[in-house]
């Protein structure tokens, strides 16, 4: 079943269960999918990698908003954003553990012959491409810095 089909089914069940916060997050996903479908050049269909990037962006936006709310001592608003982020994350592939990320980075460093922080760009490019959607970019960057530094 496609992302849109899953979302429609989940929206229906959230409405029946009267889960207002979950429904809000699901409707945001549906809205983003519909907008992506109407973009120029999409021909009414969106690729899986575009869906993945869209969902990742939505999660990132909500986590950043939650951080801002916490800085302003608005834990109530931050909790809403974090809950919505968790609902959206359910539609993303399972994230890699830190140990798995380190092993992939080690392999990339060995294969590319990277030896110092000067090679960080090359390693980051390969790592980001290989782990796209499976790991957080900030964590990848932090681990590459540690391993090359």
In this prediction, residues 80-90 reach a mean pLDDT of: 93
Domains 3-89 and 98-148 share a fold: no
Alpha carbons 120 and 24: distance in angstroms, whole number: 40
- Which fold is adopted by the domain 98-148? Arc Repressor Mutant, subunit A (1.10.10)
Query: For residue 58, what pLDDT is reported?
Result: 93
Averaged confidence pLDDT in the chain: 87
- Domain residue spans of the chain: 3-89, 98-148
DSSP class of residue 92 equals: S
pLDDT given at position 80: 94
Question: What's the pLDDT score for residue 79?
Answer: 95
CATH of 3-89, one of 3.30.1490.100, 3.20.20.60, 1.10.1510.10, 3.40.50.1110: 1.10.1510.10
Cα torsion 40, 43, 48, 49: sign: negative
Q: Is the pTM of this model over 0.75?
A: no
């Amino acid at each position: 079943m496609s992302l849109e089909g899953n979302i429609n089914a989940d929206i229906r069940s959230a409405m029946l269960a009267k889960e207002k916060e979950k429904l809000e997050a699901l409707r945001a996903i549906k809205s983003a999918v519909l907008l992506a479908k109407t973009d120029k050049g999409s021909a009414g269909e969106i690729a899986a990698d575009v869906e993945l990037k869209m969902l990742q962006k939505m999660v990132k936006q909500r986590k950043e908003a939650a951080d801002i709310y916490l800085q302003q001592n608005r834990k109530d608003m931050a909790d809403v954003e974090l809950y919505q982020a968790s609902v959206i994350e359910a539609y993303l592939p399972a994230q890699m553990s830190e140990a798995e990320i380190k092993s992939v980075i080690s392999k990339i460093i060995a294969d590319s012959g990277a030896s110092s922080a000067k090679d960080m760009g090359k390693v980051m490019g390969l790592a980001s491409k290989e782990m796209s959607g499976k790991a957080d970019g900030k964590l990848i960057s932090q681990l590459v810095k540690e391993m090359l530094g």
